[in-house]
Structure 1
Amino acid sequence: MHPILKDIRLISFDLDGTLIDSVPDLAAAVDKVLEELDLPPAGEVKVTRWVGNGAQKLVERALTDALGEPPEVESLEAGHRRFLYHYGRDPGARTRLYPGVCEALDALQAGGRILTLVTNKPYAFIEPILAQFGLERHFALCLGGDSLPQKKPDPAPLLHVAAHFDLPPSTCLMVGDSRHDIAAGRAAGFRTLAVPYGYNHGEPVQNSLPDALIETLKELV
C-alpha cells in the first residue's frame, strides 16, 4: 500500500488524463465543429493543452485559437452544442485506459475504500465511457462538471462527495493529472496525489505541489 493511503477512507478520481486518454475523441469532436465553421482543425497536440476545464471551455479555447480572438457568445454557445453532439455520438471510440487503472481500482475497492469520480466532463458522458471499460461498478458516486454549480478547481464537488458519505475531508484523497485537481483537493482539505502522464496545459503537474506523485495508478497498491 502506498503511504499516501494511510487512514484514507475515500478516494476521488479525475477521469480525463487520469483514468482514460480521451484526447483522440475530444480532438475529433473539436475538429468536426471547426470544419463546420470552415476553420482549420486543431489536432490532438493543441487539444491536449486545452482539456481540463469542461466542454464549453475546451470549445472556447479552440475557437479563440482558430479565429485569433475570443468568439462571440452566440458562436460559442452554438459551437458548444455542436461539440456535445459530435462527442456524444461515440465518446469512447478512440479513448483508451491508462496502464494500471483496472488493477488499482480492483485492489482499492477490495480493500474497502470508497471510490468516487469527480470530473469536469459533462455528466452525460460519464456512464457510457465507464461502461465501455467495465469501470462503472467501482464508483459509489460520480459527479460531472455540470452536476453542481461549481466545478474543479473549486472545492465544492469534493466537499459534496465527503459530505455525501459523512466523512471528514482529512480522510479523503483526490487523484488527478492537473493543477485543477490539486487545487480543488487542497482547498477541500483532501490529500492530493498526481499522475504525470495526463493533461496539464503543457506544465509539469508536480509544479502544483501535490502531496505525492506516482508514475502509474498501479503504484497505489
Structure 2
Amino acid sequence: MTHVHNGEIRAVIIDVDDTLCLTEAACFALENEVLELIGATPIERSVHRATWGQPLLTALPIRSPGVDLARFVAAYPPVLGRYVADGLLDAIVPENLRALDDLAAAGRAVYVLTSRTEEEMRHLLAPDHALAGRVRGVFHADNTSFGKPDPRAFDEFLAQTGLPPSACVYVGDSPGDADASLGAGLRFIACLQSGVRDRADFAGRAVDAYVPAFPDVVTAVADLELHPIAT
C-alpha cells in the first residue's frame, strides 16, 4: 500500500544518543570502565558499534559475554555521574540547542523518546538543565511499555499528545529508530553525524530524509512539509 505523507508537522520527537548529542565513543569508554571495576570481559569496539542503539542491559550480554548484570547495575551510577560531571557524556552543543529553539519558533512541539532508563536520563531531566523548557515531554524505558525497534514504543507518546502519527517526525540514528517510527506511521529523519552508520545501513526502509548534522533537522522538517513523500 502506498502512503502519502503531507500536511503540517506539528511534533518533532528526538532520540538522545548520537542524535541530540554524540555519545557512542563516550559510552564505550564508560561501559568498559565499569566492566573493569567488576572484573568482567571488556567490550570490543566493533561489537559496541554493532549493538549501538539497543537498550544497555539488552546489549550488555552481547558486548560482554557472561557479565553479571546486577553487579554492573550497582557499579554503573557513580561512573555515569562522573562522566556527566566532567562533561565527557551528554554534552549538548550550543548549535543543537539553537536547533531545538528554531523548531519551537516554527511552531513545532519538541519531545524526546529514548531507549534509556530514567536513571540514565535523570541529569538531562533536571529542572536546571538546558533542555528544561525546550522539550514538551520525555519518553524513556521507564514510562513506556515497549522499546524500539517495536513501533509500540510510540504508543504512550501518541496517546498522551493525541497527535496523529502523520503530523509527527522522529529523528534518530539507527535502523531500529527507523523501524519503530515508520512502523508507527511517523515520518523518520536519519541523523548520520556520528559516522557510526551511513545510508546503506537503512537500506529497504522508507527514510524521509538524511541529515549530516543535527542542526540540519530544522530545514529537513520544513522541506518535508513542502515536498510530500510517497512510501
1:103 is aligned to 98
**Pairing 1:115–2:110 present:** yes
Please state whether the residue corresponding to 2:64 is helix, strand or coil. Answer: helix
2:76 partner letter: F
Once residues 160 and 196 of structure 2 are traced to their aligned partners in structure 1, the CA distance between those partners, rounded to angstroms, is: 28
Once residues 84 and 109 of structure 2 are traced to their aligned partners in structure 1, the CA distance between those partners, rounded to angstroms, is: 26
> Structure 1-normalised TM-score?
0.80
**For the structure 1 residues 130 and 204, does the alpha-carbon distance in structure 2 shift closer, same or farther, using more than 3 Å as the test?**
farther
Once residues 77 and 203 of structure 1 are traced to their aligned partners in structure 2, the CA distance between those partners, rounded to angstroms, is: 37
Given candidates 88, 91, 99, the residue that maps to 1:94 is: 88
**Kept in 2: contact 1:55–1:80 (CA 8 A):** no
1:134 is aligned to 130
Please state whether the residue corresponding to 1:129 is helix, strand or coil. Answer: coil
Alignment map for 1:70-85 (pairs within 5 Å): 71=66, 75-85=68-78
1:30 is aligned to 31
Q: Greater share of helix residues, 1 or 2? A: 1
**CA positional deviation for 1:22:** 1.8
Given candidates 185, 191, 197, the residue that maps to 1:195 is: 191
1:17 partner letter: D
2:120 is aligned to 125
1:115 partner letter: V
**For the structure 1 residues 48 and 135, does the alpha-carbon distance in structure 2 shift closer, same or farther, using more than 3 Å as the test?**
farther
**Kept in 2: contact 1:123–1:143 (CA 8 A):** no
**Kept in 1: contact 2:182–2:188 (CA 8 A):** yes
Cα distance per residue 1:111-131 (max 9 Å; x no partner): 221111000011223241365
**For the structure 1 residues 199 and 189, does the alpha-carbon distance in structure 2 shift closer, same or farther, using more than 3 Å as the test?**
farther
Once residues 97 and 20 of structure 2 are traced to their aligned partners in structure 1, the CA distance between those partners, rounded to angstroms, is: 9
Instruction: List gaps (5 residues or longer) in structure 1.
Output: 65-70
Tell me how many residue pairs correspond in the alignment. Answer: 210
Instruction: List gaps (5 residues or longer) in structure 2.
Output: 220-231
**CA positional deviation for 1:184:** 0.6
Cα distance per residue 1:150-209 (max 9 Å; x no partner): 111112232321221111111111110001110010111101111112376788443244
**Kept in 2: contact 1:12–1:116 (CA 8 A):** yes
1:195 partner letter: C
2:215 is aligned to 218
**CA positional deviation for 1:25:** 3.6
